[in-house]
């Protein structure tokens, strides 16, 4: 019995239908102003997400920017709850690396004594499991010997910026 081959379009269509759907990836960017420096920090898609419900999400934004050699990132984390789309319990962390080592770690929190980090949401849009947010962040960051539990604002400075991100829901 001769072996028949499928026409290329039929084979291509069959393979495409058999392939699993591509997973959506979190995308976006933070634009920050710190110490007189303006920095564009691309979202770290595999680490950024949201969880919770459509009316009470918990937002986790991780971003990092590398130097011209693709090394020594600036890593930024911004997290907050948004019950009824009103941000609360904001936390921010910025870590600078040089020669592979963390040389600066700054922390900020929602309370005034922790820097008064505040997020303002300008827009939000839900599309299935994806959440698109635009907003602004402002406050102060400082150093900490215990990962942000006690923050010394005298050793840091102000931060402000904006973000536009699309986040995948955490499964």
**Model confidence pLDDT, tens digit, residues 7-30:** 544 434 343 444 444 456 899 999
Terminal Cα-to-Cα distance of the chain (whole angstroms): 50
Task: Give the pLDDT confidence of 62-117 residue by residue, as tens digits.
Answer: 999 998 898 989 999 999 999 999 999 999 999 999 999 999 999 999 999 999 99
- Helix H or strand E segment including 29: strand 27-34
Q: Exposed (0-12), middle (13-18) or buried (19+): which is 14, by Cβ within 10 Å?
A: exposed
SS3 14: helix
């Amino acid at each position: 019995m001769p072996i028949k081959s499928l026409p290329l379009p039929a084979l291509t269509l069959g393979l495409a239908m058999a392939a699993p759907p591509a997973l959506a990836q979190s995308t976006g960017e933070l634009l920050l102003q710190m110490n007189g420096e303006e920095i564009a920090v691309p979202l770290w898609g595999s680490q950024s997400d949201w969880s919770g419900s459509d009316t009470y999400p918990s937002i986790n934004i991780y971003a990092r920017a590398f130097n011209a050699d693709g090394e020594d990132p600036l890593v930024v984390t911004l997290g907050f709850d948004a019950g009824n789309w009103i941000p609360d319990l904001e936390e921010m962390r910025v870590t600078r690396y040089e020669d592979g080592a963390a040389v600066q770690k700054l922390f900020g929190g929602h309370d005034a004594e922790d820097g008064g980090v505040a997020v303002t949401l300008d827009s939000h849009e839900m599309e299935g499991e994806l959440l698109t947010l635009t907003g602004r962040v402002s406050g102060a960051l400082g150093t900490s010997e215990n990962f942000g539990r006690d923050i010394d604002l005298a050793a840091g400075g102000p931060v402000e910026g904006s973000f536009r991100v699309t986040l995948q829901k955490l499964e």
